[in-house]
Structure 1
Amino acid sequence: MIRRVLAVVVLATATLATVPAGAQAAPLCRAGYLCNSQYFSDAARTNLVGVKTEFCNGEVSTWGRVTGYLTWSTSPCT
């Protein structure tokens, strides 16, 4: 029992250590939808610094960098 608790604590600590403070994760893209995540350099969302697009066929295109300032949109595939 103690081993299980320790394993969970170690795993949780490792997970938190890899996620930057204040990072905002994009929602998961559901099957049958095109999803677009846009990352900005500041809270006012004035300077676009990265994009991730998940296409209907499963391909993913990314450029730039991921920040905690994000807008996310989705639309159904036709």
Structure 2
Amino acid sequence: MSPRSAVIRRTLAAAFAGVGVAVVLGPVAPAQAIPACRAGYQCTYTYYSSNTYETVVGGRTLFCDGTSDTFGATSRWLRFTTAQCNDPF
């Protein structure tokens, strides 16, 4: 086998391997935006370890008075909840 045909063979093998990986993994879903907290609401972001949403790994709460509390880590599995703030007037 000539050196040129060896290079062509390796190039084709790499190309087909890349196509095989793309076929196995399938299309990649677009990233979901993290919801914004609207004015006048208390918002809680709870992050989980997997798509079973059983084990909490972190979270963040944005309180009505403008303060926040954060713990743990973030992940791709997020639950977002809101509660309307009471009007003090």
Bin of the TM-score, shorter chain as denominator length: 0.5 to 0.7
Q: What is the root-mean-square deviation of aligned Cα atoms in Å?
A: 1.5
Deviations 1:30-50 (A, max 9, x none): 111000000000001110000
CA distance in 1, matches of 2:32, 2:49: 13
| TM-score (normalizing by structure 2) | 0.59
Structure 1 segment 3-42 matched on structure 2, within 5 A:
24-42=32-50
Higher helix share: 2
Report the alpha carbon displacement of residue 60 of structure 1 after superposing the two structures with TM: 1.1
Q: Higher Cα Rg: structure 1 or 2? A: 2
Q: Which consecutive unaligned segments of at least 5 residues does structure 2 have?
A: 1-29
2:69 match = 61
- Amino acid aligned to 1:62: T
- Report the identity percentage: 40
Structure 1 runs of 4+ aligned residues shifted over 6 Å read none
**Number of residue-to-residue matches in the alignment:** 57
Higher strand share: 1
Q: Which consecutive unaligned segments of at least 5 residues does structure 1 have?
A: 1-21
Higher relative contact order (CA 8 A, sep 6+): 1
